[in-house]
Amino acid sequence: MTLANYKITLSTSSGESITLDDSALLVFIDETGCEDLKDPKNPSFGRAGCAILSRHYNKSLRNPWLDMKKEFFGGMNVPWHTADINFTEPRINAVNKFVDKPFVRFGAICTNKTDIDEKYSVHETISETFILQTIPNLIEKFKRISRICFIFESSKRLNTLVEAEFNPHRIRRHIDKKYNFSMPIDCFFLTKTLNEPGLEVADLLAHTLGRQNKNHMIQGKSDFTPDFKKTFHNQHSIGGCMFIESIKTNQSFLEQKNHKTPRNSKCPCGSGKKYKKCCRN
């Protein structure tokens, strides 16, 4: 992932590169917990992340994050994993200053106490919540965008699930009805070794959401952790964080992931290429 004059180039899993204009919306997403909800200390699963227009990515997120890492966390290229960091007071103050930056943040999480339709996995229902609620909020927030790019950390275990659940066809089929949404939708996977700031920020947000969930939904405490309050209780939080007690499954939407696009048809991602030469790879 490289930046030059606010143009961002992303490499796809098939080896192709796509250069994005300055009105593309970048949505970085990370997970917290485990989708089987069997961790005895924290039986939860959720997603959190950040969104920003590509023209603002460098100034409002990437550079401030790298500057913070350089000064307080050992260097710009040091791998970031929030759970492993020793947060001294200077580091906490640095992160608190960073999260005041104008990028959108969001999150949704459930626990083993959440009422979920047993026919569908926890992973599916969290994806459904994100697509049916968070994406419309993002569209309302960012009125003029040329495309949406979902960016995940690459994982051999989860890439296939994410590709199925964030299929451009099923997303567009839902939101077309309300927003007349015809722009391209892409799903990218970046390796952790790239140390991409957007994904590192998503890791921070997911960890913050997970800590608050453990504090509130699992341990039954009514207060908010200081980092959660600082990060999510501000004007940049879209729709707030969702601590899900029950999910009324949209069965028709979840089953759309089984839709098969003919290999010689145009790819539903909006690239204009044939499906067999684009997202089918």
Q: What's the CATH code of the domain at 190?
A: 3.30.420.10
The runs of H, that is alpha helices, within 99-196 are: 122-129, 135-141, 159-165, 168-179
* Distance separating alpha carbons of residues 32 and 189, to the nearest angstrom: 17
Asked if residue 188 is part of any domain, the answer here is yes
Average pLDDT of span 67-85: 95
Angle between helices 63-72 and 197-213 (to 10 degrees): 70
> Residue 211's closest CA among 196, 231, 192?
231
Quote the pLDDT of residue 256.
41
The answer, yes or no, to whether residue 109 has pLDDT greater than 60, is yes
114-149 pLDDT tens trace: 888 777 788 888 888 888 888 888 888 887 888 899
Average pLDDT of span 42-47: 90
Asked if residue 5 is part of any domain, the answer here is no
Q: Biggest alpha carbon distance in the chain?
A: 57
Average pLDDT of span 152-174: 83
Average pLDDT of span 163-168: 85
Asked if residue 122 is part of any domain, the answer here is yes
Asked if residue 128 is part of any domain, the answer here is yes
228-279 pLDDT tens trace: 888 888 767 666 667 777 766 554 444 444 334 455 665 444 456 664 565 4
Asked if residue 171 is part of any domain, the answer here is yes
How many structural domains is the chain composed of?
A: 1
- 81: tokens are 């994993």
Asked if residue 11 is part of any domain, the answer here is no
Quote the pLDDT of residue 119.
78
Asked if residue 17 is part of any domain, the answer here is no
> Can you give the pTM of this predicted structure?
0.82
Domain assignment of residue 134, given as a range = 22-277
